[in-house]
Amino acid sequence: MKKIVIVIAVILLIAGLLTGCSQTSTSNTTNTNNTTTQTGSNREVAPDFSWKDNNGNVIKLSDLKGKVVLLDFWATWCGPCRMTIPHVEAIYEKYKDKGVVVIGINLDTGDVSKVQQFINEQGMKYLVVTDPNSQVASLYGVNSIPRFFVIDKNGRIAKMLIGYDPNMEDVLSKEIDALLNE
């Protein structure tokens, strides 16, 4: 009996890691490792948003036209999000000098200094902006995390990836390479 309980607990833990973290406690959505790819003229325009850089300058997503952008919606309390960090960091390192911008959008609602501490502890070198009221997440229809959007050079959404996928680095690299060659 004890073995059965342990096996069930392990299965539930693995299922929870693979489906991602719900952003709100009222969400009834269960996500699996899904990807959506849009091609050419079928791509939707990525919703524009802005943030302040370290010098206080306001930057908009639309200012990055001509570059491929990877948006990563995540939170410090989300286990699957934590699992994606090394993959996102590898993407950043691989493409940072090739016209690709990686933006982590943190959805924590607490103290921003704790988020910064987490970023430092994890060695995250890519840009992270905070979205404590989930305004940007709402623009993108994000109801579970981690969630990734790859945006083409024209500011259109080319790919969306939901949840943790151990092959995500390869999946994202293939999409980014294709977009860089468009």
Give the residue numbers marked as catalytic: 78, 81
The residue type of 124 is: M
**What distance in Å separates the CA atoms of residue 102 and residue 53, rounded to the nearest whole number?**
14
Query: Measuring CA to CA, which residue among 153, 155, 106 is closest to residue 126?
Result: 106
Phi, psi of 149 (to 5 degrees): -125, 130
What is the DSSP-derived secondary structure letter of residue 167?
T
Helix axes 79-95, 168-180, angle to 10 degrees: 40
Q: How many residues does the chain have?
A: 182
